[in-house]
Structure 1
Amino acid sequence: MAMQSFLASSMTLVSGTTRVSQFVPSTYVPSLQRNANFRVRSMAEKGEKEESSPVTAPSLTPPPKPAPAAKVSTKFSDVLAFSGPAPERINGRLAMIGFVAAIGAELASGQDVFTQLSDGGVPWFLGTSIVLSLASLIPLFKGVTVQSKSEGLMTSDAELWNGRFAMLGLVALVFTEYLKGGALV
């Protein structure tokens, strides 16, 4: 009986540790009864009548559909913010193009990335960067989200991961060529 009252006491557990308390008979433990008159009230929308109803068992109706997504900000500072939609996507797209172009040119000519850039590759790099950046920014400034255009296999998350791997691949290619002292292939 003493053990039951010790375990039933509300003072037994404090902060996840057992606390030594007085042994109180279980008749002194307050009983928890439900209040049948408990009502839930909410603020009514403008023009709606306020109602109060008693709490009932949860209904089996499906939850309401979520509200439409809020309009996306098209401000320059929001689009190009550190956690905004543009920086990682643009860098990833440039890295994907750059990695494929670097490997393709290396296979065709046998030159490493540094030689490709020094032999006239800088204007191509700058031109491609400007065109792809503008092509990526224009829809974002018009309010089009990347998630709205992603379906099936070509999702926005897949593009992010491909861009991340391309960035790592391009850095690994340049670092390997630097350590090796020449082209990878």
Structure 2
Amino acid sequence: MEYRKIPGTDLNVSTITLGTMTYGSPVPFEDAVRLTEYAVSQGINIIDTANMYEGYNRTPGSSGGVAEEIIGAFLKKYDRNKVVIATKLGMKVGDAPEDEGTSAAAIDKHLELSMRRMQTDYVDIYYLHKPDPDSSLEDTLTTMNRKIKEGKVRYYGVSNYNAAQLSELIQTADRLDVARLLYANLP
């Protein structure tokens, strides 16, 4: 397996990432745990998940978390410090206002839920899964910075942001003098 350092971090990751979107359906719980064990035994050391992932049969707005629970079952038997865990928040996972988006309340609630499901006290990379026009970017970035200082998040990134949104985020982070994102997955 080849490994590369993610620029600006101390994360040395495999060039292949284990994605978990299908965990739950069509990949059942125990099979998904075994699949994760096998992938890691072959040298994959970065696992990508999200608080909404539960497989293809997901109903929009359902509580999600199935893939994170599977990762938790795996981590119960494995050295947490040997894998890089990336998870996301922002998609709708319930009916409360903080169950969608990237507000401070959403980050506070869903980071704790994600860590509990995965049986870990920190996340290596925490993604904002999509832009949130209803939340203040200042509040979002200040909250992410607080989570980094608390040791609950090592780095953060974004997914599904266009170039203009990404530029605004970087400029806002610089203006606030808070941590810059480490990674962007453009649409």
TM-score by length of 2: 0.20
More strand by share: 2
Which of 1 and 2 has higher RCO (CA within 8 Å, sep 6+)? Answer: 1
More helix by share: 1
